Amino acid sequence: MAKKRKKSSRKKSPIAVTIIAVAIVVLFLIRLYQVFEPLIRSNVFQSGLAGPFFTGWKLTAMGKILLSSITYLVLSLAGIVVLIGFLRLHRWSWVLLMAWTGISLVISLVDYFYTRANYAVMASNVIIAFALNMTDVQQIFGIRRRDEPTL
Amino acid sequence: MNPPSDRPTAPAGTPDLELLRKFEPVVYYTKGEQFFPTEVEGYVRESSLWEHHPDGRDELLVKQGELTLEKLIETRPAEFGSIRYLRFVENLNLAEAAQVLADQTLLRIRLGNYFHAGIGRLARGGFLPRLVDGLFSLSFLLRGKVSAADAAAAEIDYNEIFELNPKYTYYGRVTRQNGWVMLQYWFFFCFNSWRSGFHGVNDHESDWEMVTVYLYEDNGQLIPEWAAYASHDFHGDDLRRRWDDRSQLDLEDGHPVVYAGAGSHASYFRRGEYQAAVNLPLPGWFSGLVRSWNKLWTDMLGQPPVNTLRIPFVDFARGDGLRLGPGGPQAWSPVMIDESTPWASQYRGLWGYFAKDPISGENAPAGPMYNRDGTPRSSWYDLLGFAGLDKVPTPPHAMDMLRENCSKVSHRQEELGKLIPQKAGELQALGIKSKGMEGNPHLAKQYAALEKEIASLSTEVRGLRREQSENAALLQGLTQRLERMQAGLQDDPHAHIRNLAVPDSTAQALRFDRAAETWAAVSLSLLLFAVAALILFVPKYIWAGLLVIFILFVVTESVLRGAFVQTVGRITLLLAMAATIILFLHFWKWIIVVALVAMGISLMYQRLRELTG
């Protein structure tokens, strides 16, 4: 008698989830580059961190570099946390990723109009935003109900 | 057909006034309402008559205190484009305005007549509609409007009129058309104080509202079948409810119950607070852009439709105030009117101040028979069409008409049953004839003519068969309906309603209602302060600052409304669309190249798969 195959309880992820995961990894790598690039440029790894970082209330050039590297490092690590939650299809990760993408897009747009835009980051965020908006992605993360009519 | 036993009836020969009294409505007002149905005589006596000329001049025709209903209808020649109007409240100077506002407060204290809005209208709409609402409020700087002092003076004057003549009047009219007997109840108010008294859309001097009861005759008895109430935003079928529709029409001892909107006096079937939305008057090209955007937003991006250019207003029909009508301490004083009533038919002007508001919201209405431009009012001359009843026969006639329809269709089916085989036979004969002609070049002309004849007959036969098939379906539907009617089964009482007015339930939807209300009240001003601060302190980053502030305001709003997740999604989507445009502008060549290459690869893959089986 043929053995009855046990049905997998895992939800099947749509392809968009994979695309988003890849985009998060790309963004992580870009952010990682943004962490180390200014430090390398300032020869921090050869000569070590040398202060001062503040002159009064203002940041010195080295202080600014350090601050931006730390910010990007936090963003990269946050990206990894979101990625883990996302691959496990947690609802909170969808919300966090959407909010994170929104903030990142605001920064990209402000950068575009005031300084220099990072088009790779912008494009990755656009892909993530549209992919997160897809009905099947929203349904699998419990953002949109399955019985809700698709417009 | 037996009349429903639970309905009040009146003998067919009942005099009109008695008939009106038999079915007159009970009206519940909202606590805080300042104006109630009154007689036109007292109002006219307190008014002056004016003429607005096309060159912008306003000419006084009859002074306040001298005007009577007889003088109102005196023939006065007027040039094209002029507008005749009454003025209930005369121009007030600053001191008089302050005085009437103080008197109004004292009057309300004396009467103990207060209104509490509860969940305000601003908290019921989102941040964007509130922004548009700000523009709507500012539009009053450009449009003509009735001032708050005018509303206060009108309230004081109305109370003086009421003290002299403490009556609640309706103007009743009875008409008969297509088997229906229609009882029309017109209510005249000195003032519509929806904006100044209840945060609504508009204020204007005078107000006319109307309720109609539709009766049919059966076995010598008049039986009520429908009640229709004039209301905002609704037309035709949506205005009426069936007499036995207990979920939508309240009855008190056989009288229909009306819940009147506070200040607006619009009539509702159910007690509650209704959201009335006003569309901003926009140029056509802009509306087209908005439509295209909505299409993209809903069809392509799968988002729910939004109309941020609609301003939410609340019509409070709570029914917790004065009750007017039979069975209570405040009864009606009916007055019969018809086309021969001089003030109704011969005065075509406005029944109050002409505020020169181009979108008419603040201009007074005309009388029961006319529109503001003097043209006949459909709710007077076409009472059936007004409530969508022009296509509805009375119940006893409906059965006869249905039988007649069934018999007509059956008869036609019999005809078709004979005609189709006859025509089909003719077609076959022609087909045989044409076959015989084939291969004979000398018959080419006759053959061509025969082909034409065959084509034409074939089309006819096809048409007849289609008709027969459609008629069979129709006959089945008609017969089923006839059987249902014969068994005494009624249609769904809501079947005719396309847009049902439903009381608002936002109060339950708000997560932190007090905080949401406070936020709704102050957010627009805070936004303006923030913009001012940006201009003052960081003018270099004004646009970036505006974007960030705007997003922060919308997100705060969404937290208070319990819609954070949806809002974050929508904002990110909008930002992504802006970023897409930027990326396309910079990399359009690359995007096209990549798209073409991707399409080429996809096509090649498909074709190669086809080739290799």
Q: What percent of chain B has pLDDT over 70?
A: 90
Radius of gyration of chain A (CA): 20
- Phi, psi dihedrals of residue B225, rounded to the nearest 5°: -120, -35
Give the one of A110, A119, A130 whose C-beta lies nearest to B544's C-beta: A110
Report yes or no: A98 at the B interface, CB cutoff 8 Å.
Answer: yes
- At residue A15 the predicted structure's pLDDT band, cuts being 50, 70 and 90, is confident
Q: When comparing pLDDT for A104 and B360, which is higher?
A: A104
Distance CA B565, CA B559 (A): 9
Which chain A residues have a beta carbon less than 8 Å from that of B301? 133
Q: What is the pLDDT of residue A8?
A: 47
Q: Are B275 and B314 in contact (CB under 8 A)?
A: yes
Rounded to a whole number of angstroms, the distance from the CA of A23 to the nearest CA of chain B is: 14
Which chain A residues have a beta carbon less than 8 Å from that of B582? 109, 112, 117, 122
Q: Which residues pair with B256 in a beta bridge?
A: B251
Which chain A residues have a beta carbon less than 8 Å from that of B562? none
- Residues B243-258, buried b or exposed e (16+ Cβ, 10 A)? bebeebbbbeeebbbb
Any idea which of B225-234, B267-276, B300-309 has the lowest mean pLDDT? B300-309
Contact A126 B568 (CB under 8 A): no
Q: What is the pLDDT of residue B511?
A: 52
- At residue A1 the predicted structure's pLDDT band, cuts being 50, 70 and 90, is very low
Q: What is the pLDDT of residue B126?
A: 64
Q: Checking DSSP bridges between strand A54-55 and strand A58-59, what pairing results, if any?
A: antiparallel
Q: Which residues pair with B274 in a beta bridge?
A: B315
pLDDT in tens, B387-397: 999 999 998 88
What mean pLDDT comes out for the span A135-140? Answer: 86
Q: What is the pLDDT of residue A32?
A: 87
- Going by C-alpha positions, the residue among B574, B582, B573 that lies closest to residue A130 is B573
Q: Dig out the tokens for B176 from the structure.
A: 């008969």
Report yes or no: B246 at the A interface, CB cutoff 8 Å.
Answer: no
Which chain B residues have a beta carbon less than 8 Å from that of A130? 573, 576
Q: What is the pLDDT of residue B520?
A: 75
- DSSP calls for B535-591: HHH-GGGHHHHHHHHHHHHHHHHHHHHT-HHHHHHHHHHHHHHHHHHHHHHHHHHHH
Contact B298 A95 (CB under 8 A): no
- Dihedral over alpha carbons B62, B64, B70, B76 (to 10 degrees): 20
| Residues with Cβ within 8 Å of residue A14, at least 6 apart in sequence | A134, A136, A137, A140
Q: Name the 3-class secondary structure at B48.
A: strand
- At residue B599 the predicted structure's pLDDT band, cuts being 50, 70 and 90, is very high
Report yes or no: B576 at the A interface, CB cutoff 8 Å.
Answer: yes
- Going by C-alpha positions, the residue among B288, B287, B285 that lies closest to residue B310 is B287
Cis peptide before A52 (omega within 30 of 0): yes
Distance CA A4, CA B606 (A): 37
Q: Are A97 and A128 in contact (CB under 8 A)?
A: yes
Report the interhelical angle of A15-41 vs A119-133 (nearest 10°).
160
Any idea which of A36-50, B26-40, B495-509 has the lowest mean pLDDT? B495-509
Q: When comparing pLDDT for B409 and B565, which is higher?
A: B409
Q: What is the pLDDT of residue B426?
A: 95
What mean pLDDT comes out for the span B212-239? Answer: 89
Distances (CA, A) of B176 to B19, B173, B214, B220: 13, 10, 10, 15
Rounded to a whole number of angstroms, the distance from the CA of B124 to the nearest CA of chain A is: 23
Q: Dig out the tokens for B102 from the structure.
A: 């103080």
Q: Dig out the tokens for B573 from the structure.
A: 């989507």
Distance CA B257, CA B245 (A): 12
Tell the burial category of A140 from Cβ atoms under 10 Å away from its Cβ (0-12, 13-18, 19+): buried
Q: Are B317 and B259 in contact (CB under 8 A)?
A: yes
Q: Dig out the tokens for B568 from the structure.
A: 């974050």
- At residue A151 the predicted structure's pLDDT band, cuts being 50, 70 and 90, is very low
Which chain A residues have a beta carbon less than 8 Å from that of B548? 106, 110
Q: Are B343 and B366 in contact (CB under 8 A)?
A: no
- At residue B188 the predicted structure's pLDDT band, cuts being 50, 70 and 90, is very high
Residue A57 has pLDDT above 90, yes or no: no
Rounded to a whole number of angstroms, the distance from the CA of A40 to the nearest CA of chain B is: 30
Q: Are B387 and B239 in contact (CB under 8 A)?
A: yes
Write the Ramachandran bin of A142: left for phi over 0, alpha for psi from -120 to 50, otherwise beta: left
Contact B565 A109 (CB under 8 A): no
Which chain B residues have a beta carbon less than 8 Å from that of A143? 565, 569
- Going by C-alpha positions, the residue among B279, B303, B274, B349 that lies closest to residue B135 is B279
Nearest chain A residue to B571 by CA: give it. Answer: A102
- At residue B121 the predicted structure's pLDDT band, cuts being 50, 70 and 90, is low
What mean pLDDT comes out for the span B362-374? Answer: 90
CA B609 vs. chain centroid, Å, equals 59
- Residues A115-135, buried b or exposed e (16+ Cβ, 10 A)? eebbeebbbbbbbbbbbbbbb
Contact B569 A108 (CB under 8 A): no
Report yes or no: A95 at the B interface, CB cutoff 8 Å.
Answer: yes
DSSP strands (E only) in B280-431? 310-317, 323-324, 333-336
Give the one of B305, B547, B586 whose C-beta lies nearest to A106's C-beta: B547
Q: What is the ipTM of this complex?
A: 0.81
Any idea which of B241-250, B325-334, B538-547 has the lowest mean pLDDT? B538-547
What mean pLDDT comes out for the span A124-148? Answer: 83
What mean pLDDT comes out for the span B479-498? Answer: 86
Alpha-carbon torsion B533, B536, B539, B543, what sign? positive
Q: Checking DSSP bridges between strand B333-336 and strand B169-177, what pairing results, if any?
A: parallel
- DSSP calls for B151-192: HHHHHHHHHHHHHHS---EEEEEEEEETTEEEEEEEEEEEEE
Rounded to a whole number of angstroms, the distance from the CA of B586 to the nearest CA of chain A is: 9
Report yes or no: A143 at the B interface, CB cutoff 8 Å.
Answer: yes
What mean pLDDT comes out for the span B451-455? Answer: 95
Q: Are B155 and B35 in contact (CB under 8 A)?
A: yes
CA B58 vs. chain centroid, Å, equals 33
Rounded to a whole number of angstroms, the distance from the CA of B603 to the nearest CA of chain A is: 21
Report yes or no: A92 at the B interface, CB cutoff 8 Å.
Answer: no
What mean pLDDT comes out for the span B23-49? Answer: 94
Residue B169 has pLDDT above 70, yes or no: yes
Residue A7 has pLDDT above 60, yes or no: no
Contact A117 B582 (CB under 8 A): yes
Alpha-carbon torsion B399, B404, B405, B409, what sign? positive
Q: What is the pLDDT of residue B129?
A: 65
Rounded to a whole number of angstroms, the distance from the CA of B511 to the nearest CA of chain A is: 19
Q: When comparing pLDDT for B144 and B440, which is higher?
A: B440
Give the one of A95, A122, A151 whose C-beta lies nearest to B579's C-beta: A122
CA B337 vs. chain centroid, Å, equals 26
- DSSP calls for B442-506: GGHHHHHHHHHHHHHHHHHHHHHHHHHHHHHHHHHHHHHHHHHHHTTPPPPTTTT-SS------H
Report yes or no: B551 at the A interface, CB cutoff 8 Å.
Answer: yes
pLDDT in tens, A67-84: 888 888 888 888 888 888
Contact A132 B572 (CB under 8 A): yes
CA angle A129, A131, A133 (to 5 degrees): 70
